[in-house]
Structure 1
Amino acid sequence: MANIHDVARAAGVSISTVSYAISGKRSIAATTRRRVEEAVLALDYRPNAGARMLKGTRTNLLALSAPLHAGSHGPAHMAFVLAVINAARTFDYDVVLLTQDDATSGLRRVASSALVDGIILLDVSQDDERIELVRTLNVPTALVGVPRVTDELVCVDLDFERAAELSVQTLAAQGHTQIGLVGQDPLIYERGSNFPHRFRAAFEAEALRLGIDAAFVPSRENTASVRAAVDELAAELPAMTGLILHCNEPVQSMVLEVLDQRGIRIPADMSVISACSSFDTVHLNPPLDVIPLPASDTCGRAVALLMEQLSTGVEPRVELLPPTLVEHGSTAARQRV
C-alpha cells in the first residue's frame, strides 16, 4: 500500500506539502496541488485517519508514547508525562498513555483505529524506531527530544549542548582547571537516549576548547556505583575542584554524601553544578547551583506546536529552549594553594 512518502517522491514535493494539499489547511500553488493529486490517483493512496482528522473530525485525544525503559528514573519520567497531560488540558484534550517497551505497536494501534488526533513522543533515542513509523502514519506528531536525523520532524527540547557549555564555562571562569562529570545510568547511554549523549559530547568539546582537564563517569543508582564513580574521577583528575552532576536526584544526593564523608567541603574545596535537573536542588545537602530541566516548558511547547499542526500547519523544526543557571551557593572561585 502506498504511503505519504511515496506520494511526496512521485510529486517531487515534501511530505508536509502533500499533507497541506490533502487537508486544504494551507494555500498550495495550483500546479503543485495538481501534481500531488495526480500522484495520489496513480498510487491509489488513501489518507489514513490522521489526515482525515485534519479536515475537521476531531477526537480530542492525544497519544503520548512514553515507554518505560531499564535505567529510567521514574519521578523524572513522570514529571514529563504530567507536563504533557497538563498542557493538553489547556487545549481541552485528554491523553492516551502508551508505556510498553514495544512502543511501535501501540502507536500503530491508536493510529489505525482513528483514536487520536496527534502524537507526542517522549524519551527519544538517537535512532528511535518510532520515528520511521510516525513518518508514515500521517498523524501530526511532536517530539520532546532530538534524534540523530530530524528531517520532516517537529522537535522541542532543552538545549543540552548549551547547558553543558554553560556548566563548563561557569566553573572555568572561577578558575577551576580540572572538572569531572558524573553522568546517567550506563543503560541510558547504551540504548542511545538522545540527551545524555548530547550533553556529554558538548561537555568534552567545551572543556577541550577551554584547555580544561576533564573526565566523565556514568553512575548507577546505588552507593557502590557512586563511590566508584567518585574514585575514578579522583584518580583521573587528582586536582579536581569542579564537578558537574548530570544524573538523577538519588545519585546526586549520594555524591554529596560521599564528598561529605571524605571531608570535601562545598564550595570551599569543590564547586558543584547540578545540570539539567527536573527536581528542586534546594532540598539537597547542601543546595546546589542548578541548570533546570523545565518539563512544563518543553512539553507545553511541544503540545502547542502539535495543536498548530492540527489547525494552520507547522513547518518541520527543532526548537531548543535556552538554559539558565540558578545559583544556590555551591560554586566559588578556586582556592589557590
Structure 2
Amino acid sequence: MAKIDDVARHAGVAPSTVSYVLSGKRAISEETRQRVLKSIQVLGYQPHAGARALASNRSNVLALFVPLRTGMHVPVIMQFAISVVTAARQFEHDVLLLTADEGVKGLERVAGTSLVDALIVMDVELHDPRLPVLRALKRPSVLIGVPDDAEGLHCIDLDFAAAGAACLDHLADLGHRRVALIGSPPEVYERETGFATRLSTGFTDAAARRSVAATTHPCEATPVGAKTVVAQLLDEHPDLTAVVVHNEPVVEPVLRSFAEAGREVPADLSVVAVCPDELAVRVTPGLTSVAIPAEEIGRMAVQAVMGLLNHPENDPNGAPTLVQPQLTVRDSTAKPRP
C-alpha cells in the first residue's frame, strides 16, 4: 500500500507538500498540486481519514438534529434524513443523527465538542427556543424550516404558505366554494411548528382572497382521528365539496371515511393532498397533490452548510431559501356538481 513518502518521491516534492495539498492548509502552486494529485491517483494512495481530519482540524461529520416529537410522520422525516446522508457523502462527510428532543441543551452539548463540523436542524418552530443558541454558536448551521425571525440564520424549506395557497386556488378555479383543510395533529399546531402553521395560513389567506368559505381542522394521525374529522365536517358543512389533506398518515383513512359516508371522489368531493408523490399515486383515484421535495431540500441544506463551513465569511442574511411548490393534477379533483 502506497504511503505519503511514496507519493512525494513519485511527484518529486517533499512529504510536507503532499500533506498541504491534502489539507489545503497552505497555498500550493496549481502545477505542483496537479502533479501531486496525479501521483496519488497513479499509486492509489488513500489518506488515513483520522490523519486527514487532524490535518484539516475537522471531524468530517455533520450533525442532523431531528427531534422525534409527537405528531411527526417518521417516514417523511426519514426521507429528509436519507437525503442529507447521501448528499453529505458527496462532500466526504458522515452524518450524526440526533433524534432525542433535547432542545437547547442538545445543541450546546454537541456543538461544544469536536464531534461535528456543522449542524443541520429540523422541526423548526415559529418561535423556536433553539434560535438564540444557533445564532451564538461558532459552528455553521442550517435550518430545514423557517421561524418567524430568520435574521442571522440560514433557512431552507418548501414554501408551505404558497403550497396551501396553490391547493386552495386550484379548487377555487374549479368552482368550489366550500373547502376544508384536514391538517396536522393538534400538538403540531400547539408547538407552532413552522411547516404546518405556514400551510394553514397560506390556505386561509387564499380562501379570503378568492371568497371561498374555508375551515381548518387539526386531525389526529390515526384512522379514528380521520373518521372523527370527516363525520364532523359532513355534520357541520353538508355543502362541503372539497378538502385539502396535509397529514400523510390519514390520507387513505380520510378517503375511506368519505366513501363510507357515500361521498364519491371526485364526483361528490374533490381531494388535494400535500404528500409524497408515491402516496398520491398509490391510492385510487390518484390524488392531485403538492409533493414534499425531501430529496431536493436535504441536498440543498448540505450544500448550504458546506458552503458556510468552507467560506465562513459568507454570513446568512436572514432571507430564507424557499422551494416553490409544484401542484400535480390527477384524478381526484373536478368541478363540483351543478
TM-score over 0.5 for the pair: yes
What's the CA shift string for 1:176-195, capped at 9, x where partnerless?
11111100111111122111
Aligned position for 1:319: 321
1:168 aligns with 2:164: no
Taking the aligned partners of 1:208 and 1:258, their CA distance within structure 2 comes to: 28
Taking the aligned partners of 1:136 and 1:265, their CA distance within structure 2 comes to: 54
Name the SS of the counterpart of 1:120 in structure 2: strand
What's the CA shift string for 1:196-220, capped at 9, x where partnerless?
1101111111101110011111111
Is contact 1:159–1:323 with CA below 8 Å preserved after alignment?
A: yes
Aligned residues between the structures: 283
Name the SS of the counterpart of 2:120 in structure 1: strand
Aligned position for 2:40: none
Aligned position for 2:188: 188
Aligned position for 2:124: 124
Aligned position for 1:13: none
Task: Specify the code of the residue in structure 1 equivalent to 2:334.
Answer: A
User: TM-score normalized by structure 1?
Assistant: 0.80
Residues 269-280 of structure 1 correspond to what in structure 2 (within 5 A)?
269-277=268-276, 279-280=278-279
More deviation, 267-276/140-149: 267-276
Displacement after TM superposition at 1:233 (Å):
2.1
Displacement after TM superposition at 1:238 (Å):
2.0
Seen in structure 2, the aligned counterparts of structure 1 residues 223 and 192 have a Cα distance that, compared at 3 Å, is: same
Task: Specify the code of the residue in structure 2 equivalent to 1:296.
Answer: E
Aligned position for 1:297: 296
Taking the aligned partners of 1:278 and 1:136, their CA distance within structure 2 comes to: 38
1:281 aligns with 2:295: no
Is contact 1:246–1:275 with CA below 8 Å preserved after alignment?
A: yes
Displacement after TM superposition at 1:56 (Å):
4.8
Taking the aligned partners of 1:204 and 1:182, their CA distance within structure 2 comes to: 12
Name the SS of the counterpart of 2:244 in structure 1: strand
Residues 67-82 of structure 1 correspond to what in structure 2 (within 5 A)?
67-82=67-82
Name the SS of the counterpart of 2:130 in structure 1: helix
Aligned position for 1:59: 59
Seen in structure 2, the aligned counterparts of structure 1 residues 193 and 181 have a Cα distance that, compared at 3 Å, is: same
Is contact 1:246–1:277 with CA below 8 Å preserved after alignment?
A: no
Displacement after TM superposition at 1:278 (Å):
6.7
Aligned position for 1:112: 112
Aligned position for 1:137: 137
Aligned position for 2:333: 331
Aligned position for 2:224: 224
Seen in structure 2, the aligned counterparts of structure 1 residues 272 and 194 have a Cα distance that, compared at 3 Å, is: same
Taking the aligned partners of 1:76 and 1:211, their CA distance within structure 2 comes to: 33
* Identity within the alignment, %: 35
More deviation, 170-179/229-238: 229-238
What's the CA shift string for 1:276-297, capped at 9, x where partnerless?
5475311123221110011011
Seen in structure 2, the aligned counterparts of structure 1 residues 179 and 294 have a Cα distance that, compared at 3 Å, is: same
Task: Specify the code of the residue in structure 2 equivalent to 1:322.
Answer: Q
Name the SS of the counterpart of 1:179 in structure 2: strand
Name the SS of the counterpart of 2:328 in structure 1: coil
Displacement after TM superposition at 1:329 (Å):
1.1
Task: Specify the code of the residue in structure 1 equivalent to 2:271.
Answer: V
Seen in structure 2, the aligned counterparts of structure 1 residues 320 and 59 have a Cα distance that, compared at 3 Å, is: same
Name the SS of the counterpart of 1:171 in structure 2: helix
Structure 2 stretches lacking a partner, 5+ long: 1-52
Taking the aligned partners of 1:95 and 1:187, their CA distance within structure 2 comes to: 29
What's the CA shift string for 1:290-319, capped at 9, x where partnerless?
100110111111111111111234342300
Seen in structure 2, the aligned counterparts of structure 1 residues 279 and 128 have a Cα distance that, compared at 3 Å, is: farther
Task: Specify the code of the residue in structure 1 equivalent to 2:327.
Answer: L
Aligned position for 2:25: none
Displacement after TM superposition at 1:106 (Å):
2.7
Task: Specify the code of the residue in structure 1 equivalent to 2:119.
Answer: I
